[in-house]
Chain A
C-alpha cells in the first residue's frame, strides 16, 4: 500500500513532442505528489508538485494532472527539448500535520528527447 507505480520505464520523444509519464498509488492518505528530475551523476531535483485539492498544476512546459478518484497522477512535458533528457521520478508522501517529508518514490522513467 506504500508503493507508487510509475510507467513507462523508458520513453523516447521527438523534439517538440509531448512526453507523458504516469504514476499510480494505493494509499489514500498521501497528500503531496512531487515530480523529481535527475541527470546522470546528480541528485534528484524538484520539478513540480501538487496536492490533492487541485486537479492540475502548470509551471512553464511542465503540467501535473491529478485524478484523486483513480489514484493516479501524471507529468506532461510540452514542447519537449533535448535538454529535458533525464530520469523522472514521481513520489508521494503523507505530510499533513506531521510534515515528515518521507517520500515514497516510483521506479523512474528515463526520457530521451531526440533532436
Chain B
C-alpha cells in the first residue's frame, strides 16, 4: 500500500510569488493534516481535515495561507504571497477516521529567496 504522497518535494521561489503543495493521503484515511516544520524544530499543526471539512485551522495564517480538500481525498495547501519566513518543510499526514497511527509524507521543502 502506498504511503502519503506529497509533491513537489522541493520548490524554490522568489518572495511574493505564489506556491502550492499537493498531498494524496493513504487510501481510506479520513483525517488529513498539514504540518509546518521549521529547520531544527518539531512539526507544528497548520490545519486538520475530517473528510472535506476543515475542523481545526486555528494555526493557519489565513492572510496568506489557504487549504482545500475537495471530495475528502487529496488536499492542496497554498501560500500567496510567499515571504522569506515561509521557508520550511510542509508535511502532510493522514490517519483513519477511527484513530490509529498518524502517517507522514516525506514533505515539501520550500525555499523563498
| Residue positions of A touching B, CB distance < 8 A | 6, 34, 41-46, 89, 91, 95, 99-103, 105-108
**What would 12 A/B residue contacts be, using CB atoms closer than 8 Å?**
A42-B107, A43-B91, A44-B104, A45-B104, A46-B101, A46-B103, A99-B99, A101-B33, A103-B45, A107-B40, A107-B41, A108-B42
B42 (CB) vs chain A CBs: closest residue: A105
Number of interface residues of B (CB under 8 A): 24
Within the complex, the shortest CB–CB distance from B39 to chain A, in Å, comes to 10
Per-residue CB proximity of B40-58 to A under 8 Å, as 1/0?
A: 1111110010000001100
| Residue positions of B touching A, CB distance < 8 A | 4, 31, 33, 40-45, 48, 55-56, 91, 93, 95, 98-99, 101-107
- Residues on the B chain within 8 Å of A99, using CB: 98-99
Interface residues of A: mostly helix, strand, loop or mixed? Answer: loop
- Residues on the B chain within 8 Å of A108, using CB: 40-42
- Residues on the B chain within 8 Å of A106, using CB: 42
Interface residues of B: mostly helix, strand, loop or mixed? Answer: strand
Asked if A41 and B106 make an inter-chain contact with CB atoms under 8 angstroms apart, the answer reads yes
- Residues on the A chain within 8 Å of B99, using CB: 95, 99, 101
B105 (CB) vs chain A CBs: closest residue: A43
Within the complex, the shortest CB–CB distance from A7 to chain B, in Å, comes to 13
A91 to B102, CA, bound (A): 12
Q: CB < 8 Å: which of B4, B42, B102 contacts A101?
A: B102
Asked if A43 and B104 make an inter-chain contact with CB atoms under 8 angstroms apart, the answer reads yes
B109 (CB) vs chain A CBs: closest residue: A41
